[in-house]
Amino acid sequence: MGLSLQTEIAGLKLKNPILSASGCFGYGEEATEFFDINQLGGMVTKSITPLPRTGHPPPKVVETASGMLNAIGLTNVGLDRFIMEKLPFLQKLSCTVIVNIAGSTVNDYTMLAGKISSLEGVDAIEVNISCPNVDSGGLEFGASPAEAAKVIRAVKKASRVPVIPKLSPNVTDIVAVAKAVEDAGADAVSLINTLVGTAIDIQTTRFKLSNRFGGLSGPAVKPVALAMVYKVASAVKIPVIGVGGISSGDDVVEFLMAGAKAVQIGTACFAEPTVFLRVIDELSTYLKKNNYQNVNDIIGAVKDG
């Protein structure tokens, strides 16, 4: 019997547990000059908002020790252009396609979920609840269990496909948020989104990012992400997708052992666009070397030291 990397998230069968994270290569076309996306378990698009967004002015990205800060500002083509210009490519893919949505009001989310989930080729929706809630004075929807649940409950009613909230680490208790969205009907959760950070140019005395603050990602956030994945996976019954600082097969093994059923890779692909394929090979090598026949055998396998 051969090695199986197949896993399942919310009824979606993935050929392997490796997905691209939202924002790492737009709507997928950008990656085609480097590798075949269909080799992945799935891909997640960058966030789609109701109307086009130009995002924040430059500088938008700053390199940090063991990571990077980004303040892109959800730059995207908007719903209408996504459907006309980007969807046709996604519809040709054989891997799982997850469309990430973002909004400023609950109505934004429900409108997006209703329209996008009805499109052929969309297998699931990832809900970015780290966006400012204009109805609540600009606080993130994901900052409180009640606000997060309100969005997911509405999205779940509007969606025809599985709903996957992407949880923010910038909260006091991420487990409480995870439980709230589970109760609201979420089919799975992905975590973590980026950590809030900043950087200052001491020569000019100015912030290095035009927006002052950005999202920290890369290897620096991996221990935080791993801890949060373990806590959430131990507390909810729905599948967990681990995100944050993953750049090797060993990293993937850690997240799976912590309880994740799949992972997303983002920042690492900026320096190494084909990182996904290397990671899949390294994961396979680990499993074979340690006499596992199925990747699911290591999910949640971590023990106390």
Active site amino acids:
131
Closest by Cα among 72, 73, 70, 127 to 98: 127
Alpha carbon dihedral 17, 22, 28, 32, in 10-degree steps, equals -70
Q: Are 128 and 47 in contact (CB under 8 A)?
A: yes
Give 64's contacts (C-beta < 8 A, 6+ positions apart). 197, 199, 216, 218, 220
Give 62's contacts (C-beta < 8 A, 6+ positions apart). 68, 69, 70, 199, 208, 209, 214
Report which DSSP code applies to 66: T
Cα-based angle 163, 166, 170 (whole degrees, multiple of 5): 150
Q: How many angstroms separate the CA atoms of 81 and 76, rounded?
A: 9
* Cβ count within 10 A of residue 137: 7
Q: How many angstroms separate the CA atoms of 197 and 70, rounded?
A: 9
